[in-house]
Structure 1
Amino acid sequence: MSLFPEPLKIPDFRAFWLARLATTVAQMAMVIVIGWQVYDIARRTMNVHEAAFQLGLIGLVQFVPLFLLTPISGWAADRLDRRHVARAVIGLELICALILFVATWTGAISLPILFGIAALLGVARAFAGPALGALAPNLVPRELLPRAIALSSTAWQTGAIAGPAIGGLAYDAAHYAPYAISAALFAFSAACLFLIGPVPRTVIEPGKPLQRMAEGLRYVGHNRLVLGAITLDLFAVLLGGVTAMLPLYARDILYVGAQGLGPLRAAPALGATLTAILFSIYPLKTNVGVKMLAAVVVFGAATAIFGISKSYPLSLAMLALLGAADMFSVYIRQSLIQLHTPDEMRGRVAAASTLAISASNELGEARSGFAASALGPVIATVAGGVAAVTVTLLWAWLFPELRRARTFEPPDEPPPSEATVVSDGV
């Protein structure tokens, strides 16, 4: 009897899972150090409000390339071999890690370099989300997809726990060390992706690329369940996200410094990981829509409490709770989107979902940084949490399809597709 959960018994999915885990650890180790370096460099010559504005800018420069490239990246994930796209993206992230390693090692690190690498990471994320998101369903049978999504989320969230801890500890040892570790992990991830063999999938017909790009957005617009699920996450996290403010809270509100920042950054991922592990063992099956809406309300409430907390243990607890609630919502949303979308559309729909996620994360970081600069971090964070709860209640009314979703399966099978089924070569 295998010790692996059922999807991990499949070698290709196991390689995919390891690649995602290694990539996430590397990304999070880089992200926490980039955020700290930006804020630390800015605070040498700026006050808290001006430095918070710089944190907002770092989110904005990651979002802009993703926004511009999303139509192309979704089309690429449906037209090209998704494995090749993912490998190229990991290669770009490896180059970014090496540049930051050299710049930090030589003492040349500066705000322009950090902002430039952040923009390149935005390019990488634009292509990674659709390619990896659309590849996973090709690796497991349909009936295992909800569990595979939970396991994939577990890999991401485990990496999100380990990454900040590794980044923080390595940064204390040597400021360039997190980037060296990230580069090694990106290389390992690329090697895992090369282990994934040819997989059968549907591809869109060649020609008229602009029309094919637009088809994904039209599909999302016409499928109200998918549209409601994507936009709920967009606005809730856009308004209620707190990750950009963690360096500020660590340094100037909770007074725990760089060492305390690592646990703050990892706490949401810890709550999310425990939730994802639970769902990989006991998949959610009933009343999924209402439970997703309730989870987003909890996310907003926990964000507001974190905003007013001056207790480090309470702040950690609220971050873990909002991470668990966010994972609850993500698990349901991704399962609904994947199972309600035909395979030949998954890349373009995943691109739309990635754009929404990036808007809620990177653009949310910009929003929180600019709001903290104008209103102060506490007022901005509390108001964001309250706004997330308000948006959830509004979406429950605007999109009754969310409330009515009882299971992940569509009520009717999708009509036969005219796309071609192929097996990608190595």
Structure 2
Amino acid sequence: MTTAPHPFRIANFRAYWASRLASTIATGAMALIVGWQVYNISRETMDVPQAAFLLGMIGLAQFVPLFLLTPIVGLVADSVDRRWIVRATTTLLVLIASGLGLLTWMGSLGLPALFTAAVLIGVARAFSGPAYSALAPNLVPREVLPTAIAVSSIAWQVGSIAGPGVGGLLLDVSPVAAYAAAATLFTVALCGIFLIGPVPQPPAQKDHRPLTRIVEGFSYVRHNRLVLATITLDLFAVLLAGATALLPVFARDVLHVGEAELGLLAASAGVGAASMAVWFSIRPMRHDVGRKMLLAVIVFGVATIVFGLSRQLWLSIGALVVAGAADMVSVYVRSSLIQLHTPDAMRGRVSAVSQLTISASNELGEAESGLLAALIGPVGAVVFGGVGAIAVTLLWARLYPELKLAKSFDPPEVEPQPHGVAQT
């Protein structure tokens, strides 16, 4: 019996992993500095609730283009070479980071430029997300895909640690330096994608109209209740409990700390998540995956409540570490189920649906947090979100018994198919 190789022994996957790591670090650094600049510019003329609301609108600016483009980008990811999609979007991110750095250096950066950049980042992520997700399963044998997902998540979570941490430290020195570092890292990510050799691409389906193929992605998710449950649980839990969106508010006006401490706070969730991802890369989850996902989301909600009530930096950091670790369990289970339960010819479209919900929970969650913070204050908004995440998890456990019954990642012998898609 031949043992499947570890993902890192595959050259294409190594290039993919390095590209994702560099891109995530750059994205984390940019997100931190953009949020900090928006909040500080706003605080020059606004009070805390108004500035917090405007900070949340940055998330909405990223979500709107992603929402509008999702039906198209999934089809593109299933029809066009996925490597070239990522190459094009990463090039756009290089230009965005460079442009913001130049405007900052010239002293001309204002809210209009920051919101324009947020919209363009949303466009780039709309196309790159499904392409990135659909590309990974083509780089490794199917039997090591859960391990590859965990290892890939290490790149994501290590980037989530290093990005905000480096961004916060460089922001303390010079915002221009942070943007320059982000542009450089995006360039490294671009080089990594160019190193990936030819990979299998599902044959173009010419027997369907484009609109029909777009609808198939949504239909597949709707008919596969297990996939639907994992996607929507993550959507509503993170949508409600998006504490990280308000980190600039907590750093400046709740914990009363500066840019360096903001970087530590922003990196804390990534520390917990990366630790859990490393564990899964060594000891992949194999049993009771659904129940463990439900428990993890409850822990995520409790940690969010603790963060909202904390007035000590060390306790806030600890709560975010726990929240990040719990979120990683949910990400690991959701990603594995989606990739292993979806035919390759539809992975781009299903990944686009998944990305839409992830973006809704993150970027739209930022808007929700900003609006709620304007109404009841930042502390109340975060605590309410944590309680809401717990309530949603308990409700989903009743509405979708498939979650509790999911014992492993193995798909059923006959997978649910959307209307109009022939069994193979």
Output the TM-score relative to the length of structure 1: 0.96
Q: What are the superposed Cα offsets for residues 38-80 of structure 1, whole Å, 9 maximum, x if unpaired?
A: 0000001110011001111111111000000001110000011
1:239 is matched with which residue?
240
Q: 1:30 to 1:419 in 2, by over 3 A?
A: farther
Contact 1:203 1:344 survives alignment (8 Å): yes
Within 5 Å, which residues of 2 pair with 1:136-151?
136-151=136-151
1:303 has 2:304 as partner: yes
Contact 2:169 2:259 survives alignment (8 Å): no
Q: What are the superposed Cα offsets for residues 338-390 of structure 1, whole Å, 9 maximum, x if unpaired?
A: 00000001000000000000000000000001100011111111010000000
Within 5 Å, which residues of 2 pair with 1:10-409?
10-206=10-206, 208-409=209-410
Contact 1:342 1:414 survives alignment (8 Å): no
1-structure distance, mates of 2:312, 2:323: 16
Q: 1:235 to 1:330 in 2, by over 3 A?
A: same
Q: Which amino acid letter does the alignment assign opposite residue 362 of structure 2?
A: N
Q: Which amino acid letter does the alignment assign opposite residue 84 of structure 1?
A: W
1-structure distance, mates of 2:414, 2:216: 20
Q: What are the superposed Cα offsets for residues 150-206 of structure 1, whole Å, 9 maximum, x if unpaired?
A: 011100000010001111111222221111111111111111101111112323413
2-structure distance, mates of 1:323, 1:142: 27
1:411 is matched with which residue?
412
Deviation at 1:257, TM superposition (A): 1.6
Contact 1:203 1:419 survives alignment (8 Å): no
Deviation larger for 365-374 or 204-213:
204-213
Partner SS for 2:196: coil
1-structure distance, mates of 2:204, 2:308: 46
Give 5+ residue unaligned stretches, structure 1: 421-426
Please list every run of at least 4 consecutive aligned residues from structure 1 whose deviation after the TM superposition is greater than 2 angstroms. Answer: 413-420
2-structure distance, mates of 1:386, 1:29: 29
RMSD: 1.4
Partner SS for 1:201: coil
1-structure distance, mates of 2:215, 2:339: 19
Contact 1:151 1:277 survives alignment (8 Å): yes
Deviation at 1:414, TM superposition (A): 4.3
1-structure distance, mates of 2:184, 2:342: 35
Q: Which amino acid letter does the alignment assign opposite residue 328 of structure 2?
A: M
2-structure distance, mates of 1:93, 1:322: 28
Q: Which amino acid letter does the alignment assign opposite residue 389 of structure 1?
A: I
Q: Which amino acid letter does the alignment assign opposite residue 412 of structure 1?
A: E
Contact 1:26 1:182 survives alignment (8 Å): yes
Contact 2:302 2:390 survives alignment (8 Å): yes
Deviation at 1:413, TM superposition (A): 5.0
2-structure distance, mates of 1:332, 1:419: 26
Contact 2:165 2:264 survives alignment (8 Å): yes
- Matched length: 416
2-structure distance, mates of 1:186, 1:20: 9
1:424 is matched with which residue?
none
Contact 2:287 2:408 survives alignment (8 Å): yes
Deviation at 1:419, TM superposition (A): 10
Deviation larger for 207-216 or 217-226:
207-216
Contact 2:33 2:167 survives alignment (8 Å): yes
2-structure distance, mates of 1:241, 1:415: 32
2-structure distance, mates of 1:139, 1:204: 19
Partner SS for 1:284: coil
Q: 1:176 to 1:419 in 2, by over 3 A?
A: farther
Contact 2:79 2:202 survives alignment (8 Å): no
Deviation at 1:6, TM superposition (A): 1.1
Contact 2:248 2:262 survives alignment (8 Å): yes
Partner SS for 1:202: coil
Q: Which amino acid letter does the alignment assign opposite residue 383 of structure 2?
A: V
Q: 1:110 to 1:415 in 2, by over 3 A?
A: closer
Contact 2:74 2:348 survives alignment (8 Å): yes
1-structure distance, mates of 2:81, 2:412: 31
Taking every aligned residue pair, what percent have the same amino acid on both sides? Answer: 58
1:423 is matched with which residue?
none
1-structure distance, mates of 2:290, 2:30: 35
2-structure distance, mates of 1:203, 1:222: 24
1-structure distance, mates of 2:303, 2:187: 37
Q: What are the superposed Cα offsets for residues 303-355 of structure 1, whole Å, 9 maximum, x if unpaired?
A: 01111110110000000000000001100110011000000010000000000
1-structure distance, mates of 2:117, 2:249: 21
Partner SS for 2:202: strand
Q: Which amino acid letter does the alignment assign opposite residue 28 of structure 1?
A: G
Deviation larger for 198-207 or 37-46:
198-207
Partner SS for 1:34: helix
Partner SS for 1:200: coil
Deviation at 1:411, TM superposition (A): 2.3
